[in-house]
Amino acid sequence: MTVSAASTVTVRVLLFASYAEAAGQTSLTLTLPAPATVASAIRALRAQSARARLPERPLCAVNLAHARLDTPISTGDEIAILPPLAGG
C-alpha cells in the first residue's frame, strides 16, 4: 500500500476472540486524519466502540505482521487488534 497524500486514511480494523466478543463485532472500517498510526486507529476505535475493552497497549498487526503502536498506516491497510495469544 502506498502512502496516501490525501488528508484522510481509511483502514479496515479486525477484532478477535475476547475483543471481538466485547465489541460485538469482528471488523469495522475507520477513517482517520492523515498521517495515521496504529495508535491513532486504536484511539478512534475506542471513541467509536466504547464496548471494546482494549488494554492501554494492545498487541497489534498491520497487513499480517506484528506492528508497533507508532507504525504508520495507509489507506487500504488491514489493522488487527490481537488479544493475548494462547496458541501452542
Based on the shown chain and the rule CB under 8 A, indicate whether residue 56 belongs to the binding site for another protein.
yes
Question: What residues does 55 pair with on adjacent strands?
Answer: none
Cell numbers 499480517 correspond to 64
Nine cell digits for residue 15: 477484532
Choosing from 29, 47, 51, 84, the residue that interacts with another protein (CB under 8 A) is 84
Based on the shown chain and the rule CB under 8 A, indicate whether residue 53 belongs to the binding site for another protein.
yes
Choosing from 38, 41, 73, 79, the residue that interacts with another protein (CB under 8 A) is 38
**For another protein, the closer CB: 24 or 46:** 46
Which phi and psi (to 5°) does residue 16 adopt? -135, 155
Choosing from 2, 7, 47, 70, the residue that interacts with another protein (CB under 8 A) is 70
For CA atoms 86, 11, 49, 67, give the dihedral sign: positive
